[in-house]
């Protein structure tokens, strides 16, 4: 599939889970396709990074479900901050582990999973929909019952995949990508390279095949599709570009110039603009 073909299967108002973590291995080419679309009123579920920032800046988001939004090497995400400080998005701010449990519950068809995380904190106060459950055993502990977090669609980016949707992780951490896929009605995997199935296990062994076609509805070949987030070992985070992104977000004029330069055209246009930028930076070193 292409990124635009994936987005054509999505609808306004859907709940969309986005894999990766902070500014690491985000399905950015799919996010960029969302930016180009006329979709709106999305509920976005994410261990947030620039995916959340860009979607907020483009006015695509009605509600955010997250534990944090950060660019890792730059702690605060400027567009997320702006959206929150303008009161522009509804939020459901969870502990990171609560988010994990919500996705896991949805993926194994349980209504909830119990945890201590959240008790005593303002996560309970600002999420009045959360309920507790009392252990039926002798301890009788009262635990938070994390509700299953069902997604209409999940978008994740891995290193390799075959056309059937068997996806391979070559980097150090799957994060919660498999649970995003499991919690979703439809899951879409973008990858650096689509390869024949026999090549997958030959390069990393069966243990590197972390997402099965059982959970996947569509595969997109997206070389450098996670840019500017990291996609180890294929490439690291483009720190210079990330700084440019953050600097551009500081005022509307520089942000519209950034959008004009990088986000107006297709994914191929984006990758060309980034390559040209990198070439200029190298030449002026």
Partner 1 sequence: MSTVSRAEHCVVACADVWRGDGEIVASPTGTIPTIGARLARATFEPDLLLTDGEAAFVAGTWAAGAPAPGPVEGAFPFRTVFEVLWSGKRHVMMVPSQLDRFGNANISAIGDFARPTRQLLGVRGAPGNTVNHPTSYWVPRHLPRAFVPQVDMISGVGYDSAARAGVTASRFHQLRRVVTDLAVLDFATPDHRMRLVSVHPGVTVAQVQAQTGFELAVDGDVPATRTPTPEELQLIREVIDPRGLRDREVPA
Contact positions vs partner 1 (CB under 8 A): 21, 48, 66-70, 75-76, 80-81, 84-87, 93-98, 100, 115-126, 141-143, 172-176
Least distance in Å: CB of 164 to partner 1?
25
For partner 1, give the closer residue by CB, 76 or 214: 76
Least distance in Å: CB of 265 to partner 1?
31
Dmax (CA) for the chain in angstroms is 70
Chain length of the chain: 285
For partner 1, give the closer residue by CB, 9 or 173: 173
For partner 1, give the closer residue by CB, 122 or 198: 122
- Asked if 210 and 182 touch (Cβ cutoff 8 Å), the reply is no
For partner 1, give the closer residue by CB, 67 or 218: 67
Q: Which two tokens stand for residue 281?
A: 């930076």
Least distance in Å: CB of 139 to partner 1?
9
DSSP helix/strand/coil, 266: coil
- Asked if 78 and 249 touch (Cβ cutoff 8 Å), the reply is yes
Containing 283, the helix (H) or strand (E) segment is helix 267-283
Least distance in Å: CB of 260 to partner 1?
26
For partner 1, give the closer residue by CB, 82 or 274: 82
- Asked if 165 and 213 touch (Cβ cutoff 8 Å), the reply is yes
CA distance 135 to 170: 40
Least distance in Å: CB of 3 to partner 1?
26
């Amino acid at each position: 599939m292409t990124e635009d073909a994936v987005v054509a299967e999505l609808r306004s108002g859907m709940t969309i889970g986005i894999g990766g973590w902070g500014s690491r291995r985000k399905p950015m080419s799919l996010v960029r396709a969302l930016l180009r679309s006329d979709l709106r009123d999305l509920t976005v579920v994410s261990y947030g990074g620039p995916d959340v920032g860009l979607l907020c800046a483009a006015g695509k988001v009605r509600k955010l479900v997250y534990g944090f939004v950060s660019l890792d090497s730059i702690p605060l995400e400027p567009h997320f901050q702006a959206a929150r400080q303008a009161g522009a998005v509804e939020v459901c701010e969870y502990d990171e582990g609560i988010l994990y449990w919500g996705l896991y519950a949805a993926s194994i068809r349980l209504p909830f999973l119990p945890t201590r995380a959240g008790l005593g904190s303002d996560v309970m106060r600002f999420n009045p929909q959360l309920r507790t459950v009392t252990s039926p055993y002798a301890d009788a502990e009262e635990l938070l019952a994390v509700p299953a977090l069902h997604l209409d669609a999940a978008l994740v980016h891995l290193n390799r995949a075959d056309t059937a949707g068997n996806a391979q992780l070559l980097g150090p951490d799957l994060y919660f990508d498999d649970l995003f896929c499991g919690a979703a009605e439809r899951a879409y995997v973008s990858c650096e390279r689509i390869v024949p199935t026999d090549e997958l296990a030959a390069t990393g062994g069966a243990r590197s095949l972390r997402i099965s076609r059982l959970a996947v509805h569509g595969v997109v070949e997206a070389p450098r599709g996670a840019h500017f987030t990291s996609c180890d070992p294929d490439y690291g985070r483009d720190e210079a570009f990330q700084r440019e992104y953050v600097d551009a977000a500081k005022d509307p004029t520089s942000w519209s110039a950034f959008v004009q330069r990088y986000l107006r055209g297709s994914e191929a246009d984006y990758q060309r603009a980034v390559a040209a930028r990198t070439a200029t930076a190298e030449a002026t070193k």
